Amino acid sequence: MRIGLVLILSLFFGFSGTAQQKRFVTVKRALTLMGSSFEITVVASNEEIGYINIEEAIAEIRRLERLISSWDPMSQTSEINRSAGIKPVIVDYELYALIERAVQISELTSGMFDISVASMDKIWDFDGRMTSFPSPEKISDGVSRVGYKSIVLNKQNHSVYLKEKGMKIGFGGIGKGFAADKVKELLMSKQVPGGMINAGGDITTWGTKSTGEKWLIGVDNPDRDSRFFTWLPLVESSVSISGIYQKYITFRGKKYSHYLDPLSGYPSTGIKKVTVFSKSAELCDALATAVYVMGKERGLALINQLGGIEVIIVDNFNRIDTSSGLLLKTTK
């Protein structure tokens, strides 16, 4: 996810009404959470209340990270991974429900989104240290432990069992969207009238800013000086952006994304950027990953079958395609 390509601006509409209308302020904080850059913006009656709301949001994100992190040895997710091929693990309903939804998205995308692709995390390294591709044998061995159909869920006791030893699950393709939705839900329950959660490029909004302005997202074309070719409003909605930005490897002058095809075990190619819009940040996050892996034709075909979801795809030739329900007004 690339935050630098996402710019939230405002249209100044102002509040209509009388002089008695209540005034609000916008309070914002940027920090690193869940290994990514977060920006939390809330609308409040005064700055003190706004900062209290932001602290509540931060506490919620940290709670969720302790639940879903595969890097924290004390998390329930780590316990599931340690018990792969050995025994089921009973987990909190919140985690169970997330895994259940992830499996449903795997079914929807014919396995192109799969949280068990985390089983490949020791084979590929996208932090710049790799100097050659892993061997085909090593990739094939990793793929043998990938497969959402080997995630066994028991709704009665909320247990999760990974059938294969060495199998792992991880939430890199859905976790930040999940967190954004949960924080939005928390703040709305506390009557926060408006806000925006930017979870490393997974963004969700509600209400308006303190002046009544709408949230807008600027959509750009990679390799075109980061200039925005259109602006789209986010009204009670969410967006997720996937692309080759910070996490990739380069071999013989060609960039390979960190989005792995769960079926082949190799990095996906053909697309530079995917932007998905829907009500749920979690769903946006997962579908952006799936579309990136599926490729342009299959990705567009999938999104066009789903209600209330739209996509913008920029391919390796900088061609821009959109789903059938999205009309773009380009800027000069």
C-alpha span between 237 and 218 (Å, rounded): 15
pTM above 0.85, yes or no: yes
Residue range(s) defining the domain that contains residue 242: 8-59+174-322
* Same-domain check for residues 183 and 81: no
Is residue 199 within 8 Å of residue 177, measured between CB atoms?
Answer: yes
CATH code at position 100: 1.10.3980.10
For residues 81 and 139, membership in a common domain is answered with yes
**How would you write the pLDDT of the chain (332 residues) with one tens digit per residue?**
443 334 333 333 333 333 334 689 999 999 999 989 999 999 999 999 999 999 999 999 999 999 999 999 999 999 999 999 999 999 999 999 999 999 999 999 999 999 999 999 888 877 767 777 889 999 999 999 999 999 999 999 999 999 999 999 999 999 999 999 999 999 999 999 999 999 998 999 999 888 888 888 777 666 555 566 667 778 889 999 888 766 777 777 777 788 899 999 999 888 989 999 999 999 999 999 999 999 999 999 999 999 999 999 999 888 989 999 887 655 54
Say which residues have a Cβ less than 8 Å from residue 216's Cβ, sequence separation at least 6. 8, 9, 10, 11, 231, 232, 233, 234
Q: Are 145 and 278 contained in the same domain?
A: no
Q: What's the confidence (pLDDT) of residue 2?
A: 41
pLDDT recorded at residue 144: 94
Considering the domain architecture, whether residues 202 and 302 belong to the same structural domain is answered as: yes
Number of domains making up the chain = 2
264: domain CATH number?
Answer: 3.10.520.10
Amino acid 20: pLDDT: 32
Is residue 52, in this structure, part of any structural domain at all? yes
What are the CA-CA distances from residue 87 to residues 74, 83, 92, 157 (Å)? 17, 6, 17, 14
pLDDT in the model for residue 10: 38
Looking at the domain assignment, is residue 327 inside a domain? no
Q: Tell me, what's the pLDDT at 293? A: 94
Report the C-alpha gap between 157 and 274 in whole angstroms: 37
Going across the sheet that includes 202-206, the strands are 25-33, 36-44, 194-199, 202-206, 238-243, 271-278, 310-315, 320-322
